[in-house]
Amino acid sequence: MILTGQAIKQAYERGEITIDPFNLSQLNPNSYNYRLSGSILQVNNDGKGHQDFERIELPASGFVLRPKTLYLAATHEIIGSTKYVVTLLGRSSVGRLGLFLNVTADLGHAGSISQWTLELRVVQPLKVYPYMLIGQLAFWKQWGSIVEYRGRYHKDFGPVPNQDTSLLSSEDK
Amino acid sequence: MILTGSAIGEAVKAGDIVIEPFNKDQLGPNSYDFRLGNRCKIYRDYQLDSAKENLTIDYDVGNDGILLDPCRVYLFNTLETMGSTCYVPIIRGRSSVGRLGIFIDITADLIDIGSINQWTLQLHSVMPVRVYPGMLIGQVTFWKVEGEILLYSGKYGKFQSPVASLSFMDGGPDAVSSIITI
């Protein structure tokens, strides 16, 4: 079952959902709109699998994302729930501009309460702005006993690159 | 909870789900296959700005179809008018279409409850590929909700689909500075 906007608001008021800061104007019929972080990481790749990350503070005048480049961003809000499962997606206003908010990794773990890392990729060059409304969250009821996520990303603040050493090239380990 | 195909069919009969035109051959075990419309919008400029109105060029696509260029976003209407006042729709491509490298949405698969119209698809392909109006392009699933329902009354419902991004109506950086204090 997916929560309606009213159910999200009530769960927030009961403390079962964390959205900080919370703004009622960002509530939709069945989701909540989140904002882009103030800085992002551009992923630079040497073509042989070695990655490094360049931090970019997004200027108020905007920053142009380039195609064929991966950027890691974060939600401005601290988001999560111990009771519901979160899925992260883009807003249709942003999808219509060709901006992907994740790379087929839209499912959050229950119990992960953090600024969520977004994986940005554009089809056409697109100017984005710090703290713009960029995506939305949906909340889902779960069935079964709950084991909260205590994995490597569960207290992330800001965009966090891959931390799974088994996925790094041998040079980077 | 996701609706089965037969539950979708019954909800259409009961008026809780709108799919128009409806063809029971397009019902799957837990989704409904929808068709590509013939109206297409492409942005006039290559570089886009999320705080400004981005002008589009409109095409009526004929039976010859249109060749998707991987470097562009193509906004299309769905042939069907769809939506629900009881269930939340989520769209995705058909696997037959995914296998051709065609995205039908750009991480925007969740439809607001109460948004009943021809939806705007965001087509993007990994490789050049030709698509045709009327082809079965995607599928819609319907999900039960928890909580009080307030129906969608937002900006996109007022226009004929496809509708280009209205993100400029969010107010841009000025609106942000009035809300966000860092």
The CATH number for A77's domain is 2.70.40.10
Q: Is B69 on the interface with A (CB under 8 A)?
A: no
- Kindly state the tokens that stand for A42: 């551009």
* Residue B54 to residue A6, Cβ atoms within 8 A: no
Measured CA to CA, the distance from residue B69 to residue B48 in angstroms comes to 17
- Of A13, A54, A57, A119, the catalytic one is A119
Please report the residues numbered 76 through 135 in chain B whose beta carbons come closer than 8 angstroms to any beta carbon of chain A: 88, 105-110, 112-115, 120, 122, 124
AA identity, residue B22: F
- The fraction of chain A above a pLDDT of 70, given in percent, is 96
* Residue A30 to residue B113, Cβ atoms within 8 A: yes
Evaluate the CA torsion angle A80, A86, A88, A91 in order and state its sign.
negative
* Cα A68–chain centre separation: 20
Nearest to A36 by CA among A157, A106, A132, A138: A132
Task: Pick A29's closest partner by Cβ from B144, B150, B179.
Answer: B150
Domain-located, residue A173? no
DSSP H stretches of helix in B2-50: 5-14
Interface test with B, best of A76, A96, A116 (most B CBs within 10 A): A96
Domain-located, residue A159? no
Of A27-41, A154-168, B124-138, the least confident: A154-168
Helix (H) or strand (E) holding B98: helix B95-98
Q: Residue A7 contacts by C-beta under 8 Å, 6 or more apart in sequence?
A: A139, B145, B146, B147, B148
Phi and psi for B89 in degrees, rounded to 5? Answer: -80, 145
* Residue B107 to residue A135, Cβ atoms within 8 A: yes
Task: Pick B145's closest partner by Cβ from A2, A129, A135.
Answer: A2
Domain-located, residue A160? no
Q: Which domain holds residue A128?
A: 5-144
Domain-located, residue A161? no
Domain-located, residue A100? yes
Average pLDDT over residues B110-130: 97
Q: Could you report the per-residue pLDDT of B67-116, keeping only the tens digit for each?
A: 999 999 999 999 999 999 999 999 999 999 999 999 999 999 999 999 99
Query: Is A119 known to be catalytic?
Result: yes
Q: Is A161 on the interface with B (CB under 8 A)?
A: no
Domain-located, residue A154? no
Nearest to B78 by CA among B160, B3, B1: B160
Domain-located, residue A37? yes
Q: Could you report the per-residue pLDDT of B78-88, keeping only the tens digit for each?
A: 999 999 999 99
Q: Could you report the per-residue pLDDT of A103-149, keeping only the tens digit for each?
A: 988 998 888 899 999 999 999 999 999 999 999 999 999 998 887 77
* pTM for this entry: 0.94
Measured CA to CA, the distance from residue A54 to residue A70 in angstroms comes to 11
Please report the residues numbered 91 through 110 in chain A whose beta carbons come closer than 8 angstroms to any beta carbon of chain B: 91-102, 106
Q: Residue B96 contacts by C-beta under 8 Å, 6 or more apart in sequence?
A: B136
The pLDDT of residue B182 is above 60: no
Q: How many domains does chain A have?
A: 1
Q: Is B73 on the interface with A (CB under 8 A)?
A: yes
Q: Is B67 on the interface with A (CB under 8 A)?
A: no
- Kindly state the tokens that stand for B73: 């976003």
- Which chain B residue shows the shortest CA-CA distance from A63? B49
Residues of chain A contacting B176 with CB distance shorter than 8 Å: 35, 129-132
Domain-located, residue A120? yes
Residues of chain A contacting B105 with CB distance shorter than 8 Å: 95
